[in-house]
Homo-oligomer: A and B are copies of this chain.
Amino acid sequence: MRSSPYGFEIVENCSSCSFRDDTFFCSLGAAALKAFDQASVASVYPGGSVLYVEGQAARGVFMICRGKAKLSIASRDGKSLITRVAHAGELLGVGSAILDAPYQATVETIEPCQIRHVKREEFIKFIREHADACYRVTEQLSHECHNANDHIRSLGLSHSASEKLAHLILAWCDESGREGATGTRLKMMMTHHEVSQLIGTSRETVTRILGEMRERGILSIRGSTMVIHNRAALEAMVLL
């Protein structure tokens, strides 16, 4: 192992990797793991690096060993939409690699990340030879579909921006909220602008709706932590 300027070790070898847990794509048997290790190249990226850009031919897949990355799509006039945030353990670009189609999103790290990259041909060979890994791919893709469908539901079926925002906050509560005395506490790791890109509205609308929710006592915000006082009120706003 080498050390890195990002506060964590660079793992060169999958077998001795300490990041992995059993929710990871690479939670594989010894033989498959070794093959994955040999087919892939490790590297470390600072936050804000672009791993690949929407529309590029899919040259390979990217395993996030550590860190988080933001997937987004953009229209020609510059508007952009964040499709999701990928966490450690996920394999990115796998759908495009399998179909040999262009990447559908742009991926940008939002914190320092350790990444392993596998070339498309080698990846296909790898999963054709290791049934276990192939099954893991079906799981990864199922999760992606699931997420995408939720996003479609939110974008296509909601009546108002408040509904979408309420939906998003509730999802955040479930995934990373911590119960406290006055309600559920949440770290906001996104700016209003990014939130607006997540739910497909404008930055101002997000600010206004949050202001209104604050006024109605549903939640309060101090610095980057948000406290949800009245979860029921949020749920009532969502008819999805």
In the complex, which of the residues B73, B98, B151, B240 contacts A157, with contact meaning CB atoms closer than 8 Å?
A: B73
Number of this chain's copies in the complex: 2
Report the minimum CB–CB distance from A185 to chain B (whole Å): 28
A145 at interface by CB-CB < 8 Å? yes
8 A Cβ contacts from A47-93 to B: 73-77, 79-81, 83
Docked CA distance A163–B190 (Å): 29
Given contacts A76-B239, A135-B128, A137-B138, contact A152 B148 (CB under 8 A): yes
Task: Please report whether the interface of chain A is mostly helix, strand, loop or mixed according to DSSP.
Answer: helix
Other than the known A104-B150, A148-B151, what 5 A-B pairs have Cβ atoms closer than 8 Å? A76-B239, A83-B152, A98-B139, A99-B143, A101-B146
Could you name 23 residue pairs across A and B whose Cβ atoms are closer than 8 Å?
A73-B153, A73-B156, A75-B240, A76-B239, A81-B153, A81-B156, A83-B149, A95-B141, A96-B142, A96-B146, A101-B146, A104-B145, A104-B149, A127-B135, A128-B131, A134-B138, A141-B141, A141-B144, A145-B148, A148-B148, A148-B149, A148-B151, A148-B152
Check A105–B149 contact: CB distance below 8 A: yes
Residue A177 at the chain B interface, CB threshold 8 Å: no
Nearest first, the 10 closest Cβ-Cβ pairs linking A and B are: A148-B148, A141-B141, A95-B142, A156-B200, A155-B155, A131-B131, A95-B145, A81-B156, A75-B157, A98-B142
Q: How far is the CA of A96 from the CA of B127 in the complex (A)?
A: 21
What residue in chain B is nearest A98 (Cβ atoms)?
A: B142
Task: List A residues 185-240 near B (Cβ within 8 Å).
Answer: 200, 239-240
